[in-house]
Amino acid sequence: MKVLVIGGGGREHALCWKLKQSPLLSELHCTPGNAGIAQIAQCHGGDAVEVARKIGADFVVVGPDAALAEGVVDRLKAQGIPAFGPTQNAARLESSKVFCKELLRKYGIPTADFETFEDAEMARAYLSDRDDETPVVVKADGLAVGKGVVIARGRKEAVAAVDEVLGVARATMPDAEERIVVEEFLEGEEVSLIALTDGETVVPLAPAQDHKRVGEGDTGPNTGGMGCYSPVPSFTPELHEIAVETMLKPTVEALKNEGIEYRGALYAGLILTRGGLKVIEFNARFGDPEAQVILPRLQSDLLPLLLACAGASDTPLSQTPCEWTPDATLCVAMAAAGYPGEVRRGDTIIGLDEAESGGALVFHAGTAQRDGVCVTSGGRVLGVTALGRDFLQARERCYHAVEQIRFEGAHYRRDIGWRTLNAEGGARSAE
């Protein structure tokens, strides 16, 4: 089977790496790909649907949210090419926060209290009545690569945040409507739980914990994600069950009830508050870097699972194996100078072979090949992942690999997994 993966980040490198192991695969292609993906797949430029047609793809796996929101799955279907990922209409669960929040409210799925506004004026008027002490979250409606969200400390910051989030949203999606969500600030530990679904069956994958802020101790601006690990010991089997039964399954059901068949990856961004588990957001895709820690733990073949979601397999999703290793994974994102702001590109990366020969998986994100040399070409440059028999071993191996790699201006967080490290370190010293 000829498979085309759309995207060029660490998530897509992890997808390609895992798909490459499938006995069902004959050829692996990617568009646009990156320097790491190019070592295991044929990379192509140009329009994704054109690429799929040109190479005669049997199946397409869509990685990024922007491609889903633009309707690439619908365009592929119109050409008779099956694809993994929700249609444009179903992907509104991520591409419109207003749509997502209203769906959650209508079907009683636990989430932060919120109000939605049609324009900046109305949002500002509402916020001007608030006090200066209660934090509040201001979000632009559309996709904004994790940057359309401001956690304001009170009224003044919240009023200013309206223009800020709209500015980001305008820069990302100039034609989108300028709606705003204002929501209650929730405090707690976040967990990403991604499920695969064919619109009926919901198969949860292993949970992961991402670190979204750029700085150690979870400080500084939000990013796409600076590092991840799986499993997440604090996300107990009971919480897992609550998330699946009261959040993931009811959301697929709710969409169905609205006449929307959701097929693909359904990513629940969850937060464990004092008042219980709540949904912060849904994404319509695999997380990045979440995919980089989840896929290396998946023991089963990924391709039949993705085919079943798309309805392109004779075996239904409910009967397709999905087995996990108990081993732990940890991934550290190495970012370019300036990330998450304006980034510098073109710096030579060294030490990749050394990191890999020690057993780590080095997933490329913003990398390119120039004159036979691997150079930086994006914000998050590499996702370095290691497996270990437990969290501590995975963490140690991962940071050892990260230390082998160098490029000018490289920065990364040294505290990925700090919550589990504190809990496990504490447990060990008490032994």
Written as six digits, the tokens of 212 are 């979204």
Cis amide prior to 231 (ω within 30 degrees): yes
Decide: is 10 part of the binding site for ligand GLY (CB under 6 A): no
CB of 264 to ligand GLY, least distance (A): 14
Stretch that binds ligand GLY, among 158-166, 197-205, 272-280, 283-291 (CB under 6 A): 283-291
Interface with ligand AMP (CB under 6 A), residue total 16
User: At its nearest, how many Å lie between ligand AMP and the CB of residue 187?
Assistant: 7
Q: What is the largest CA-CA distance in the chain?
A: 61
- 186 near ligand AMP, rule: CB under 6 A: yes
Residue corresponding to tokens 């390609």: 16
Q: Which of 210, 294, 304, 364 binds ligand GLY (CB under 6 A)?
A: 210
Q: How far apart are CA 340 and CA 344, in angstroms?
A: 11
Tokens representing 383 are 């996702």
Q: How far is CA 87 from the centre of its chain?
A: 18
Computed over its alpha carbons, how large is the radius of gyration of the chain? 21
Q: Which of 141, 178, 290, 301 binds ligand GLY (CB under 6 A)?
A: 290
| Residue 183 lies near ligand AMP (rule: CB under 6 A) | yes
- How far apart are CB 225 and ligand GLY at their closest, in Å? 3
State the minimum distance, in angstroms, from the CB of residue 323 to ligand AMP: 29
Closest CB to ligand GLY among residues 127, 265: 265
Q: Which of residues 214-233 bind ligand GLY (CB under 6 A)?
A: 224-225
Nearer to ligand AMP, 222 or 234 (CB): 222
Sign of CA dihedral 169, 170, 173, 179: positive
> Position of tokens 């993931």?
248
HSE (side-chain half, CA atoms, 13 Å) at 210: 27
Counting contacts by CB under 6 A, is residue 288 touching ligand GLY? Answer: yes
Residue 141 interacting partner from ligand GLY, ligand AMP, none (CB closer than 5 to 8 Å by kind): none
CB 204 within 8 A of CB 240: yes
Q: Judge whether 254 and 183 are in contact, CB under 8 Å.
A: no
Q: How far is the CB of 384 from ligand AMP (least distance, A)?
A: 22
| Interaction pattern, residues 108-137, with ligand AMP; x per rule: CB under 6 A | ----x------------------------x
User: Between the CA of residue 7 and those of 32, 144, 287, 364, 425, what are the distances in Å?
Assistant: 6, 17, 13, 12, 38
Could you say whether residue 287 binds ligand GLY (CB under 6 A)? yes
> Helix or strand or coil: residue 323?
coil
Stretch that binds ligand GLY, among 172-180, 286-294, 346-354, 408-416 (CB under 6 A): 286-294
The torsion region of residue 409 among left (phi > 0), alpha (psi -120 to 50) and beta comes to left
Which strand (E) or helix (H) includes residue 221?
A: strand 219-222
Contact residues toward ligand GLY (CB under 6 A) are: 210, 224-225, 283, 287-288, 290
Contact residues toward ligand AMP (CB under 6 A) are: 112, 137, 139, 146, 149, 151, 183-186, 190, 212, 222, 269, 280-281
